[in-house]
Structure 1
C-alpha cells in the first residue's frame, strides 16, 4: 500500500513539473509569436477638472435605492457629467433622518468599478478630503450607495452612461417603464 501512494505522489509531482514547464514556455517571449495587429493603447490619465457650484435644491434628482441606504439620496442633475477620461462625476446629497445633510463631489470609474471623493461641502464651499485616491466599489451582496450608483445609475457594462440617459433612468426607472 505504501508503494502505491508513493507512486501516486511521484506521478502527481511529475505532472505538476510538466505543467509548470509548459506554462513557463507559453509565457516565454520566444514561445509565443507577437500579435502584429495589437497596439498598446495610451495610458489612462484622469482629467483635471474644476469643481462645479454647490448643488441647488431645484437641481436635485431623488434616487430610490432598495436596502442601500436609509437616507434620502439625491444627484445634482445640473452638474452631472461624463468626462473624456470616462469618469462619471456627480454631486451627491444625502439627507439623514436626523435632518443633517452630507454633500460630496465624487467620480465613478466604470471601467474599473472604482470611486474617488473629490470634495466635501463645508458651509458654503467645497473642501478637499484628507485623502482622494481611487478605491474599489464593493460589488457583493451587501448594497451600498456607491455600488448602486455604479450598477444601476451611472454605468452599464463597464462604460459610463450618457448624462441624458442617467437623468431619464432616475426620473423614470427602467423597472417602471413599459417595454
Structure 2
C-alpha cells in the first residue's frame, strides 16, 4: 500500500511541475529595463560583412556588447559613409523572434538621443535593419534562435568566423 502512495505522490508532483512550467511558457515576454546607451568605446569597431550594394560600412563596438537575462543581445552599431561621417545606433536583437529594436541614435550632435516609441521590428522587414540581420547571422545568434553564450563569444565569432563551431 505504501508503494502505491509513493507512486501516486510522485505522479502528482510530476504533474504539478509540468503545469508550473506550462504557466511560465504561456506568460507574455517582457523586456527588462533597458540600460542607458553606453559611451562609444575607444576600440575599433568590429566590421560586419555586408552585401556589395550597401554603401555604408557597419561595425559593432565590442565594448558595448551585452546579453540580458531574457536573451536580448544589446550593442552599439557604428555606420560610416564613404566620406567618413559616422552615426551610431544603440540596439537590441531578439534571436528567438528575429526582431531588432533601436533604443537610441548618436549623430552629429555628439549625444545619444532616445528613439521615442521604439518598437520591435522584424530583421527581414523592408526597413533599414540589414546590419542587425548581418550581426545576428555573423555571431550574435546561434542557429538563428538563441543568443550567443557571451559577449566574448560574439566577438570571437565576428573576428574569426566559424570559431565557435570548432570544438
Report the TM-score, using the length of structure 2 for normalisation.
0.73
CA contact (8 A) 1:82 1:163 kept: yes
In structure 2, relative to structure 1, the CA distance for the partners of 1:98 and 1:104 (3 Å cut) is: same
The answer to whether the aligner puts 1:146 opposite 2:132 as a matched pair is yes
Give, in angstroms, the shift of residue 171 of structure 1. Answer: 1.2
Equivalent in the alignment of 2:156: 168
Q: Give 2:72's aligned residue.
A: 87
TM-score (norm 1): 0.68
Residue 127 (1) aligns with residue 113 (2): yes
Contact 2:37 2:112 in 1 (8 A): no
Contact between 1:69 and 1:144, CA under 8 Å: does it hold in 2? no
Query: Which residue of the other structure, out of 23, 35, 41, is the alignment partner of 1:40?
Result: 23
Structure 1 segments of 4+ aligned residues over 6 angstroms from their partners: none
- Paired position in structure 1 for 2:146: 159
SS in 2 for 1:150: helix
Cα separation, 1, equivalents of 2:69 and 2:166: 32
SS of equivalent residue, structure 2 residue 63: coil
CA distance in 2 between counterparts of 1:149 and 1:89 reads 11
Following the alignment from structure 1 to structure 2, what is the Cα–Cα distance between the partners of residues 99 and 164?
A: 28
Q: Is the 8 A contact 2:89 2:104 kept in 1?
A: yes
Unaligned 5+ segments in structure 1 are 1-35
Aligned CA-pair RMSD: 2.6
Between Structure 1 and Structure 2, whose CA radius of gyration is higher?
Answer: 1
Q: Is the 8 A contact 1:115 1:134 kept in 2?
A: yes
Q: Distance in 1 between matches of 2:132 and 2:53?
A: 9
